[in-house]
Amino acid sequence: MYLLILLPALCLLGAQTASLPQRNSKQKSQEQDNPSLKSRLWMRQPHTKGILRPHNSWNPPRCGVPDIPVPEDSSNGRNRQKRFVLSGGRWDKTNLTYKIIRFPWQLSKVKVRKTLAEALRVWSEVTPLTFTELHEGRADINIDFTRYWHGDNLPFDGPGGILAHAFFPKTHREGDVHFDYDEAWTIGNNLGTDLLQVAAHEFGHVLGLQHSSVSKSLMSPFYTFRYPLSLSTDDKQGIQYLYGAPQTPTSAPTTIPTIRPDSRQLEQESNEIPYSEPDACTTDFDAVSTIRGELFFFRSGYVWRLRGGKLQSGYPALASRHWKGIPESVDAALEDSAGNIWFFHGSKYWVFDGKLQATGPFQLSDLGLSVPKVHAAFLWGTNKSKKTYLFRGAEYWRFNTDTRRIENRHSRSMSDWRGVPTSIDAAFQDEQGFAYFLRGRYYWKFDPVQVRVLEGYPRLVSQDFFNCPVESSSANSL
């Protein structure tokens, strides 16, 4: 007899577990008796990818549905064979519809649709189930990429930690599948969190499967990157117990009838963020700052990250991935000498300490400024004499980050920075001590020795920092 359990229908899937060290025969024997031991030996520190911690330091990242104790077999006193566990509910039909409400920021909608259809196909190939995508109206399964509090009292936590959750059949939110919008979703690689494997696991819950105690099954509570994706015997037995075997031979799997949207439908659908992802080759920037030795460009809630002059993969990304609680857009940003990161927006500012814990918002007036906003900020000078500067229009102030006060309530003129235009948008300093000032899509490079802008400037930000193609209608001069 298979174990039937009625539970609240949610799955909180944790970040990926790390590779296990080699075990001796005694350890392997222990793992066979206790399948959860294998995932407890080593684990990644939550929110810190790639760092191994001993098993007694952290709880292993995993799906949040509680595991069900396996009862002993009363006939012989031995543990029963470990098998799949059911949620206690199932769909009363085999032709199910699904709808994608919002999409992740890293992947195109076409790729997401293809991946989610493939994740559903894993289950349809071994059952009579079919899945049809809808683009309007009510669907059986509703898939959403959302953030933090999103209406079900199960908030997401930003990058890392909880990845997704889903609700079982015959519950008040049956068919709902939620993915954390702020995760680094990838397809077919281990550079981030693989959408195919997480989605297939969550769809198993939506169809009525609880967690399996078989460590290598898709419905194991522990996420591990494995390719190619396939069901274990335990997964197959569980889903067929609910819905039966496919009506067609397994050698000819059921094809999922998917409605293919045209390009107009794709463009009309909206992500959670109401604006579209900006293009570094065609946009100007709200702020730029050197933070922890890397260069960050900010625009409309997004950030680009350059390391060693090279744009890092996965960017642009939401700035909130790095600094939880940051305003949706920033006017200026800087890292001070103590390693604190300052963000300015309108008449307010926020400060993130070395552990990225935020304080604020505070008022600009607390700094001694009587302006509604600042346009740029940066730390400039040699190691022993670095000073912080705030800019607005044709004036600037020198600012003490320790006392959080401007050094003189009277502003100074931008003419002190010979060759730099007024009304700049951003400023930063490189490792050689050169200062850079941005306005619109152009930048000026300022020599700290000659105390003036170098010859040959301004130049286009897009070409020099993002390797964008040269535009026939523009040149590197104003």
172 is in an annotated binding site: no
152 is in an annotated binding site: yes
55 is in an annotated binding site: no
262 is in an annotated binding site: no
Handedness of CA 444, 449, 451, 454 (dihedral sign): negative
CA distances from 260 to 129, 132, 142, 175, 268 (A): 20, 10, 17, 22, 14
Q: Which residues contact 155 (CB under 8 A, 6 or more apart)?
A: 148, 149
Is 202 a residue of the active site? yes
205 is in an annotated binding site: yes
d(CA 167, CA 207): 9
d(CA 100, CA 10): 19
Q: Which residues contact 414 (CB under 8 A, 6 or more apart)?
A: 391, 393, 394, 395, 396, 420, 421, 422, 424
322 is in an annotated binding site: no
d(CA 49, CA 53): 11
366 is in an annotated binding site: no
219 is in an annotated binding site: yes
425 is in an annotated binding site: yes
180 is in an annotated binding site: yes
DSSP string, 379-417: EES-TTS-EEEEEETTEEEEEETTTTEES-SS-EEGGGS
140 is in an annotated binding site: yes
157 is in an annotated binding site: yes
d(CA 453, CA 446): 4
Catalytic residue among 125, 202, 269, 335: 202
Q: Which residues are annotated as a binding site for Ca(2+)?
A: 140, 157-158, 176, 180, 183, 286, 331, 333, 377, 425
Q: Which residues are annotated as a binding site for Zn(2+)?
A: 63, 150, 152, 165, 178, 201, 205, 211, 219
Q: Which residues are annotated as a binding site?
A: 63, 140, 150, 152, 157-158, 165, 176, 178, 180, 183, 201, 205, 211, 219, 286, 331, 333, 377, 425
**What are the residue numbers of the active site?**
202
